[in-house]
Amino acid sequence: MNGFLHLAFNASFLVQVVMITLIGLSVWSWVIIFVKRKELKMVLSSTMKFNQKFWSGIHMQKYYMQIKEKRKKTSIEQIFYVGWNRYEILHGDEKHITPESIPQTSLRAMQVAIATEHESLESDLQTLATIASVSPYIGLLGTVWGIMNSFQSLSQTSQTTIALVAPGISEALIATALGLIAAIPAVIAYNKFNRDIARIILRYDNFSEELTELLQRTHIPEKDQDNENSKLI
């Protein structure tokens, strides 16, 4: 460790800038990784809890009213809310509703909500992708500069010894290593988060299709109606 610090502090100015930049990018990527991992875990957990409650036979109109009153809705709750709300508005206006009209109203509203949630979930992923892409090249810049310094040291003396080229080669290798250290976790996290987001969006899509099918089979009951055979009760 002391040797590494000695080489870092005695490296050329450009290589030091490269090292600091790569360390900063690495720290930035790890902050994104921890925050995004926590976010996706919470989203997946809330989605699973919602699905369990939604399909447990709960009175869906009452459940909709409960969600409507919530100031902060989870992603899946927001998708359910906009789909059911669109259907309720049409039913409340006493317009003629056909099964064919549901995909053009409720389903479309849910698809817009899903697209919005998808965009939100993908926030910061492009930053990870950028760090993964540019870090090796930034490290390569430090590598090239360190090797150039080594060759310059050789040109200024008639004696060729390992001691002359060792510092330049060492700082070049450090820059290369830091570039990989910053890039590899970012690549792995980016691919994993993309897979996780794809699974979450698939759950959203499946729910929107299931809710659409449910709405096509039934109507929201009136307040004074007590239809025990309806799935909505």
Mean pLDDT of the 99-112 span: 78
Which pLDDT tens digit goes with each residue over 136-194?
999 888 888 877 777 676 666 656 565 556 666 777 788 888 999 999 999 999 999 99
Is residue 29's pLDDT more than 50?
Answer: yes
How is the chain split into domains, by residue range? Answer: 17-217
Q: What is the pLDDT of residue 225?
A: 39
* pLDDT interval class at 102 (50, 70, 90): low
Say what the pTM is: 0.78
Residue 6 has pLDDT above 50, yes or no: yes
pLDDT reported for residue 87: 81
Q: What's the per-residue H, E or C state across the chain?
A: CHHHHHHHHCCCHHHHHHHHHHHHHHHHHHHHHHHHHHHHHHHHHHHHHHHHHHCCCCCHHHHHHHHHHCCCCCHHHHHHHHHHHHHHHHHHCCCCCCHHHHHHHHHHHHHHHHHHHHHHHCCCHHHHHHHHHHHHHHHHHHHHHHHHHHHHHHHCCCCCCHHHHHHHHHHHHHHHHHHHHHHHHHHHHHHHHHHHHHHHHHHHHHHHHHHHHHHHHCCCCCCCCCCCCCCCC
What percentage of the chain has pLDDT greater than the value 90? 41
